[in-house]
Amino acid sequence: MRDSHKNDRANARTREKGLWVMKTSTKALLGAAGLSLVATMASAATLDDVKARGVLKCAVNTGLAGFAAPNDKGEYTGFDVDYCRAVAAAIFNDPNKVEYTPTTAKDRFEVLANGTVDLLARNTTWTLSRDTTLKLNFAGINYFDGQGFMINAKKIPGVNSALQLSGAAVCVQTGTTTELNLADFFKANNLQYNPVVFEKLEEVNAAYDSGRCDVYTTDQSGLYSIRLTLTSPDDHVVLPEIISKEPLGPAVRHGDDQWLDIVRWTMNALVIAEELGITQANVEEMKASTNPEIRRVLGQEANSKFGADLGLSEDWVVNIIKAVGNYGEVFERNIGSGSPLKIARGLNALWTKGGLQYAPPIR
């Protein structure tokens, strides 16, 4: 068993940036030992543990602007952080009852597996091997990401598609799936390019900023975030093409269906609220709505027992929306038009508006 864990963990890390297998193998060994311990620990009902503890433990990024980063008061804010706050609001009716654990790409699965945290909300791509061999359950997709390209529009004006990049020098981090997607994309489109590869993310940033390359490629959300750290962010534009699928979402451990349901339906409630036009500002008025769907979602129907079946109170959706707003509000505040990142909704628009955000109904 331990050996299969070790092997599988290595596979599951294929998306980790610039990791040397030799380094990981020792870590994987420790991880394997950790995982075999976890199997016994994680069986307990997480909801009961969280309620007894009085606080939700949530793993977030150490610092990715817009997604999870401490603000000037030292409080964590961001898109992923709001999912932690939403779950806490659903349980405690208090979004501040969260204890954050900053994690790197390497140790994020470890802290979830060994029970240090209850929930992993850290721009993590949903893949098969993470689902099966790392024994994670992804609650859904809260951000549809994909690999994209960024260029300096001032230095190379007139380029508005990656297909115009023939002959360009492209900065990329070595040993990542990004590097391979890049080769595939340029080959498939019969374009020439000159790869400039570095081992560390900081080196790639520095090389691109100094003008060594015309193009920077990584996950699109990462490009928006990195753009903020460049010398003159306004000169750089992210091209519309997305050349790979990187669906990001919060994850929990295997073995606790009730807990998975709570996280999943918290996510769904955010999207449903946006569909129905329920916002942080109007949620109290909406409770008096005559629309049966809105009444049902907000727990205003007589003998409603959706919340109780989840193990929550009947006004759980009201608490969530009061705490963080609906999906659109969370998006715009942290990474959209209301933030320095200015990411367009794109794929993350509601399905009714040409995007992919779609939630099963509460009924």
Interface residue list for other proteins (CB under 8 A): 3-4, 6-7, 10, 18-22, 25, 155-156, 165-169, 174-175, 179-180, 182-184, 186-187, 193-199, 203, 206-207, 210-212, 214
Min separation Cβ 168 and other proteins, Å:
4
Min separation Cβ 255 and other proteins, Å:
25
Q: Which is nearer to other proteins, 81 or 172 (CB)?
A: 172
Q: Which is nearer to other proteins, 182 or 283 (CB)?
A: 182
Q: Which is nearer to other proteins, 22 or 128 (CB)?
A: 22
Min separation Cβ 32 and other proteins, Å:
10
Q: Which is nearer to other proteins, 11 or 279 (CB)?
A: 11
263 touches 117 (CB < 8 A): no
Q: Which is nearer to other proteins, 94 or 241 (CB)?
A: 241
Min separation Cβ 156 and other proteins, Å:
7
Q: Which is nearer to other proteins, 20 or 363 (CB)?
A: 20
Q: Which is nearer to other proteins, 179 or 315 (CB)?
A: 179
Q: How far is CA 308 from CA 140, 256, 258, 299, 314, in A?
A: 22, 17, 12, 10, 6
Q: Which is nearer to other proteins, 189 or 258 (CB)?
A: 189
Min separation Cβ 146 and other proteins, Å:
19
Min separation Cβ 234 and other proteins, Å:
18
Q: How far is CA 8 from CA 22, 131, 132, 150, 336, in A?
A: 15, 11, 9, 33, 36
Min separation Cβ 211 and other proteins, Å:
6
Angstrom distance (rounded) from CA 57 to CA 30: 22
Min separation Cβ 47 and other proteins, Å:
37
Length of the chain: 363
